[in-house]
Structure formats: structure tokens, C-alpha cells
Structure 1
Amino acid sequence: MFRRKTLIQEQFEQFEQFGLEKAPYIFYPAVVVAIGALSDILEGRDNPAWASVTGLLVFCACYLFSVWTAFSDRCGRVLVLLPALALTVLTVVLSLRFGEGMLWLFSLLAVVWSILAGRRLLLRPTLAVVLTTVLGGVTAAIAGNEMGESFGIIYATQLSGIAAATIVRLFSTVMELREAQEELAHSAVAEERLRFARDLHDLLGHSISLIVVKAEAVRRFADLDPETVRRHAGDIESVGRTSLEEIREAVSGYRERSLKAELKSAQLALRDAGTAAAIRQDGPPLPADADALLGWVVREGVTNVIRHSEARSCEIEVAHGSGAVELKISDDGGDAAAGAGKMRESGIPGQGLLGLAERLSAAGGALNAAHMPGGGYRLLATLPVVRRSAEKMGTQ
């Protein structure tokens, strides 16, 4: 569903696309503050004129270079610090030598040190603003300015430093948000790939196993019972069509596996494989999420029994007690966990059972697969659930 973007979202995207490499262009225009000193030079108050003009030009060049180095990742701390220190000395010298017009250059000095504090972490932005403000006030007092003029210099210096520090902090926040968005996007893609891989494994493993069983039955009865062959061939066609539909639903992300349907399918599959099936289910109806999750367990567990256990009988028991449900699949055959990749020496099962364990763990449950003492194999899934009646009482 498409949503209209708010004005704030559009401005944020434009600001994000602006990029950190273009950030210095925001601070370059601030050099117009030097016009105040230039007007004093043109009016003849700063003599000799050649010295004041040269000093002002050097200051402007040093300011622009300091801003550029502060945002450039190619410049080390030494190359960043030297222009800033030179700019500080030059500002003090020009202010003491030529007076009031040059004192306004302290506002640009505060911009440079605020940028360095925010970008290079040489010192705290607040400390940078305080130091440049104090330096500007002391220099104005030494230059013999009146109290009102000195206060104006102090206010302009402080305001410029705070504005620069705020802008730099905003840029840093945008960069952090961009990195966080990229990490979240990568995590979402990885999670979706894992979900899709699990769904395909569970869907195709069960369906292909059932098709193989049916095909073996067709081969056995090909010459003995044509009617049985036709029935199994029809089942193969039905399973194939159902598998295609399930894959489409899994791709779309809308598939919900009913426990009742999986139990019925498991009974038919076990019967066709020559395994006696006993299914018992008691307790109240399960919530939709728990019902779907246990449906996955039945599908994977029965698939492993059919493909690898060579069992003669299999029991599936679903017991829904107070606050939890247990699903137990036990057989009298061999290692049914081999269908998910043989049980390793460390006791960690393969991909099929590992995927189920992760699903159950995410829902607060657990999966236990182990050999039984008297022979056979047992798969036990436990899952905490809340009865609907309890939910209704809680809401009331």
C-alpha cells in the first residue's frame, strides 16, 4: 500500500541525499561576515590598507581551508588542527591590530572550532563555543572596545558556534540513521531468506517423499492391481498440484498450515508407506499461531519417519493441557532425524529439525529429538499457549 510522504519525510530524504561530502558548502557562505571588516578598510579606518587587506584575504582562505579539512576523511588530525590554530592566532592578531571590524571574525572562528569539535572529537562542542566566546570577549576588552560593542561580539560568537555545532550534530545523526537503515535492510533480507528456505524445505521434503512412496506403490502393483495403480497415480497428480499451490502460497508469504489437515495428511502418507499410524489429540482448540507451528512439526517429523526410519508403526499424540501443548511423534524404526541431515556427534540435528527448533524457540517452546531406550525414535515439541477462555477473562 502506497502512502503519501509527509513534508518532514521529504525534507529528511533531501537532506540525506545531500551527502556528507557536500556539507562544507553550508558553511562557506558564512565568510560574508568578513564584509564588516572590509567596509572599515574601504572607509580608511584600518591602516595600512595593504596589510589589513592581505590579512583579511589570508583569514578567508584559512577559514575555507579549515572547514574543508574538518569534513574531509582524507585529512588527519594534524592537518586539521594546524589551519584551525593558525586561524585562531590570525584572528587575535588582526583584531588587536585593526580593531572593531576585525573582531567580528571571531564568529567565523567559533564556526570552525564547533565543526572540529563535532566532526573530529578534538573537544566537546560546548567547550569549543565557550572558549572561542571567552577569547573573543577578552580580545575585545584588550582592544579597548566599549561594553556594548564587546557584548555584541560575544553574542555573535556564541550564536555562530551553537548554530554550527547544531548543524554538524544533525549531519552526524543523519549518517547514523543511514547506517542503521542499511543494517536493518540487510537483516530483513537475511531473515526473509531464512524463512523462505525453511518453508521450501518443509514443503518440498514432505511432498517429494509422498510422491516417492506413491511411485513405489505404483511400481509394486503395476502388474497385480491396475485399480490400485490408478488410485496411486491420481494421488501423485493430486500431491503434485497441491505442492505447486503450496509453493506459490509460500512465495507470497500467506501460507497457514492447519494441524488438523497435517495430521490427516500424515495418516494417509504413513498408511501408503506401509506404516501403521495411531493419532490421538485431546484438549481445547489451539490458537492459530500455535496450530500452524505444530502443523510444521507434524509435516517435518512424519516426512523423516517415512524417508529414513523404516518404521512399522508410528504414534502421533497432541496433548493440550493448561498453559502448554505437547506434540509427540514416536516410531519403532531407526534414526528419523536423518532426514534433516544425519544427527551429528555433537547432538545437533540437521537443517529440518534445526529449523523447527528455531521456530519453536522463537515462540517460547522447545524441540527434543532422541532415541528411545527400547528402540525407535521420538520427536517431542512443547509450546506454551494461552487458552481463549483465559484471554477473554483477562480482557474483562
Structure 2
Amino acid sequence: MQGLRRMTVLSLTLGLVLAWVGPLSTLGDPDGQSRLSLLAVGVPGLLVFSVLYVRILQAAVAGTGARGEIAASAVVGVILLLTQDGHPWSWGLLGPAWASGAVLLMGRSAAITTTAAAIAVSLLLTSPGVDPGPGFTDMFLSPHREGVLPVLGAYLGVSATAPWANRLQLRFWQVVRAAEEGKEAQARLAVTEERLRFSRDLHDLVGHSLSAIAVKSEVAAKLSGVDAARAAGEMDEVRILARQTLKEIRTAVRGYRTVDLAAELRAMTAVLEAGGIRCTLQMPRDQVPEGAATLLAWVVREGTTNVLRHSSATECRTVMTVRDGSVVLTMTNDGVEGVEGVEGRGGTGLIGLSERVAAIGGTVTAGPGGPGEFRLRATVPLGGG
């Protein structure tokens, strides 16, 4: 995502190209006074305009506001248009350049109005009849060769197109960012739903038993001074209930920690494909023992979470093989950017998983695979778990 973010900001600098190429074409003007004005006022003004423009782009990509920068850059642009003599194809490009950034933080109607106003101001403050001189404008239409109207027509076409090309590029970035946020939300939702399920199960299992223990303990306390035998009987029942509750809790936790490998693989495929990631599975014919399968299911779950939350993958391949008394599960995806490793920053999930697998004599490795790939591999003894 960071790479795409930088590319988006770079692609939105079309306005800066317009802002600089047009005015710099006047360097070929033989009028020394015009050249002096460009170097003394124009270039410093363009530098200030560029800094403000870049800040507008960064705000647009980040989804924040930049009203101050938009207003300040508009003032700088008007000052430059008032102080510099130019043709629409030179300083007149400054208005469309400003609009290319400003419209990124506006709605459609406001963007149309802003683009039209920027073009109108640029035309009012420049003279279509002034010869811009040789250089950049020779690639377009010289007013002395073709007349004013063709020059204005071409100018209006470029000026109206540039801001909307930028809006289209920004819209593409917003769609990609929304898709990434959706994948992260899916992963968080899956974790939350699992926690809610376990909390419901735990409440249903022990809520009644703990209430009964509390009531019987109160009865035993009241009877202890008047009927010791009955009080002892009540406490015996409390002891039995406590043991039964402890057994139920252990059973619940054991069931929670036992994850079905086949179900986890189905869930992985459904979630990743819903996020636009193509999945391929290659499974062995022989059935994997329950203990090893449970550990591998946790590997699949952790690998799926990493793909969803920490990569820009478009494909994920999962291969499981049985050899030399062990089962090897390999998950490979083509989105290595930002994926946490066992020894990488913050990789607590994979670290905990590797410790659990190591406890039964297995191994977990995570890191680069082939070019542009990230690979998670777990080796679990068939008798493990």
C-alpha cells in the first residue's frame, strides 16, 4: 500500500508539470525585462506554489482537509498572473494547475465550478494575442500561425481535462484503500466473532453452576451454627459442583483450542477469495492425525490473517505433504510487503505459533520465498499434539 500511495501522489503531480513547463517556456523570450521578472518573482512564487500543491496532494491521498493550502496557493497563483506577462500556454497554465489539486478535495459540483473559475481567471489575466515566443508553445498552436481561436480551443481542452484526470486517479486510490480496509475489517470481525462465541459458550456452561455454588454456600453458612450435618452436606454438594464446573471449563477450553483443519481450509478459501485473492490447495490423500491437524489448522488461521492484514497478495498457494513421519504445510503468497515474520517487527502471532509447534518437536519458518513471495512453512510430527 505504501508503494501504491507514493505512485498515486506522483501521478497527481500533473498540475505541477503544467505550473512549471508553461512559465519556463518564456525563458526564450528576448525581452530581458520579462526574463528578469521570471527569475526574480516568478520562480520563487512557483516554488511556494509547488510546496502548497504537494501538501494538497498529501491531504487528498490521506483523506484529510487542506483549505488553508488551497486558499494560499490560489493567492500565490493570482499574484503570479498579475505580475507576469504571458500567454495562456505559458503563465495561463497556472490556473488549471491549481485546479488540478484543489478539485481533489471537493465534490463534483464544486469541482466543476472551481475548474471553470480557474480557467476564466487565467484567461482574463493573460493575453491570447501575445506571442509566447519559441520553445514549449511551438509544440502547440502559435497565435500568429493559426489564430487565437484554435489556441484557445486547445487551451480549454487541456485545462478542463487535467483536473478531472487527477480526480480519476484519486478515485482509483480510494477504491484500493477501501478494499484494503475491508480486508482488515474482515480479519478483525472474524476474531471478534470467535471471542463472542467462546464467551457465550463459557457463560452457558458455568453460569448456572456458579450460581448454584453461591446459593449452596450461603445455605451452608447459615446452617453451620444450627445444623452442622446439613451444612456439611451442602458443602459436599458445593465441592461436587465445583469439580463438575472445572471439568466443563477444561472441556470447553480443549474444544476451543481444537480447530478442525478441513473447516479452517474451507474458511480460508472463502475469506481470501472474497477479498479478491486466488486460492489453490494441494492436500495429501492420507488423513492427518487429530493432534497434528489441530496445530496445522492454527497455522492456516495465522497464515490467513497475515495475508489479509499484512500483504497485498493476489494469489495464495497452500500445499500439504506427508513425508518421513511428519506433515509439512506450506502457504505461499505473492504479496510480501509488510508481512510480519517470526523474527520481524511485532510478529507475536507467528512467534507464539512457532513456540507451540516447537513444543512437540516441530518447526515453523516464515520469510521470503521466490521473487516477490512470502512463505510460511510448518513441519509437525504425525504423532504430535
Q: What is the TM-score with the length of structure 2 in the denominator?
A: 0.43
Q: What is the TM-score with the length of structure 1 in the denominator?
A: 0.42
